[in-house]
Amino acid sequence: MKARLRIATLAAVLAFGLAGCAPPPRAPSPELAAVSQGAPPDFPRRDYEEAAARGQAVYRVDPAASLVAITVLRAGSLARLGHDHVVASHEVQGLVAPQAGRADLFLPLAGLTVDEAPLRAEAGMDTTPSESDIAGTRANMRDKVLEVERFPFAQVQVREVRKTAMGVTLVASMTLHGVTRPVEIPAVIDMRPDTMTVAGTFDIRQSDFGMVPFAILNGAIRVEDRLGLRLRIEAHRIGASAPSP
């Protein structure tokens, strides 16, 4: 009996000593934690913390250097009386784990802009909407089409990167207006020391996401169902030195 007690005591002492020598739990990176502030509730930050803990490179999207631009075209028998528009976001956020072929991006829809002059010029649009036209378009888009109070975010989850002759295809899903649909995004990836950029274009249909394209006069002036999306995402490796201005 005494021998068994001595063995049990020794085992407990060893276990306590080993626990004391174990490294403390790694605190979340401030950069990773910052991404979660204002993110959708289901944003998977922990997956990227675990990837970083395994030694994998994790990149954080730089909103100031990134852009999503959406081309909205007019349609209908009286389309000549309307305007095409460019809707844009400069608030794209998210994380990228290239070794896993994974990215999780989100943007708050309340911050979308409408018809920035440089973006209209870049898109080759040939009309000039008035300030009231732009304000009305933004209000209709936010309140009647996107319903941003109910659905405040657009999200893209990349889960595979396929190489192609022209670059890559991002195999992803997109969540918008409470609906998730698969999307494939032809893109080009530029990897540099501690920085990566992704540029791509793809189309979606509003009706695929349960949205009704805006229309007036019984559809004589309306918005096309199809939207053209162009994205440029710049991300910096977490833990690397800050990029030069």
Instruction: Provide the domain limits for residue 164.
Output: 57-237
H/E element holding 225?
Answer: strand 221-237
Q: Name beta bridge partners: 17.
A: none
Q: Supply the CATH number for residue 139's domain.
A: 2.40.128.110
Q: Are 148 and 109 within 8 A, CB to CB?
A: yes
Q: Which residue has the higher pLDDT, 35 or 135?
A: 135
Confirm whether 82 is domain-assigned: yes
pTM for this entry: 0.82
Between the CA of residue 132 and those of 28, 115, 135, 137, 138, what are the distances in Å?
Answer: 46, 12, 5, 8, 10
Cα 206 to Cα 145: distance, rounded to the nearest angstrom: 9
Cα 99 to Cα 124: distance, rounded to the nearest angstrom: 38
Confirm whether 215 is domain-assigned: yes
- DSSP conformation letters of 149-205: TT--EEEEEEEEEEEETTEEEEEEEEEETTEEEEEEEEEEEEEETTEEEEEEEEEEE
Q: What is the pLDDT of residues 218-239, one digit of tens each?
A: 878 888 999 999 999 999 999 8
Confirm whether 87 is domain-assigned: yes
Confirm whether 35 is domain-assigned: no
Confirm whether 149 is domain-assigned: yes
Cα 41 to Cα 46: distance, rounded to the nearest angstrom: 12
Q: How many domains does the chain have?
A: 1
Look at residue 25 and tell me whether its pLDDT is greater than 70.
no
Q: What is the CA radius of gyration of the chain?
A: 24
The phi-psi region of residue 16 (left if phi > 0; otherwise alpha if psi is between -120 and 50; otherwise beta) is alpha
Confirm whether 107 is domain-assigned: yes
Q: Are 79 and 127 within 8 A, CB to CB?
A: no
Cα 233 to Cα 245: distance, rounded to the nearest angstrom: 17
Confirm whether 52 is domain-assigned: no
Q: What is the pLDDT of residues 165-220, one digit of tens each?
A: 889 999 999 999 999 999 999 999 999 989 999 999 999 999 999 999 988 888 78
Choose from 12-21, 122-131, 184-193 the range with maximum mean pLDDT: 184-193
Confirm whether 176 is domain-assigned: yes
**221: which residues sit within 8 A by CB, 6+ positions away?**
74, 76, 78, 79, 81, 82, 215
